[in-house]
């Protein structure tokens, strides 16, 4: 009887551990459409005259933007998302920016669920120690 009780207790403990295991980083990667919408929301805010990157919203979801190019002050007159990479880690987008100072191609990393973070490649590398 004690062996059966001990076995059941061990089985319940094992199930509890599996239920409490840490999920992978995929839980922090937004769906492709959501990531694109967050990036477009950020770029549209810049294009519409928001002076510095910062907090925005996509419905009830917050968006936080870190972008060294935007922060340096040039006006954005147009943009075009020209590529997307969805390997391990954040979703990456390549964007052609038309600035008052000329054209520039920038990569953006998008990750998180709420908030969703939009980082220029430069800022992402600084924060991640790359």
pLDDT of residue 6: 36
> What does each C-alpha distance from 115 to 21, 22, 59, 103 come to in angstroms?
23, 20, 11, 29
3: in domain:
no
Q: Considering its fold, how many domains does the chain have in total?
A: 1
Share of the chain above pLDDT 70, in %: 80
* Domain containing residue 37: 26-128
73: in domain:
yes
pTM of the model: 0.79
The neighbour count for residue 73, using CB atoms within 10 Å, is 11
Check whether 23 has a pLDDT greater than 70: no
As given in the structure block, the two tokens for residue 21 are 């295991």
Check whether 13 has a pLDDT greater than 50: no
- CATH number for the domain harbouring residue 122: 3.10.450
Check whether 89 has a pLDDT greater than 90: no
């Amino acid at each position: 009887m004690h062996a059966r009780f001990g076995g059941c207790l061990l089985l319940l403990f094992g199930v509890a551990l599996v239920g409490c295991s840490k999920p992978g980083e995929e839980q922090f990667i937004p769906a492709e459409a959501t990531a694109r919408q967050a990036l477009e929301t950020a770029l549209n805010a810049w294009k519409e005259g928001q002076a510095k990157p910062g907090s925005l919203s996509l419905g009830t979801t917050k968006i936080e933007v870190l972008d060294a190019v935007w922060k340096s002050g040039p006006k954005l007159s147009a943009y075009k998302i020209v590529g997307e990479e969805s390997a391990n880690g954040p979703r990456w987008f390549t964007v052609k920016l038309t600035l008052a100072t000329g054209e520039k191609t920038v990569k953006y990393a998008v990750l998180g669920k709420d908030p969703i973070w939009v980082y220029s490649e430069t800022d992402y590398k600084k924060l991640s120690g790359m």
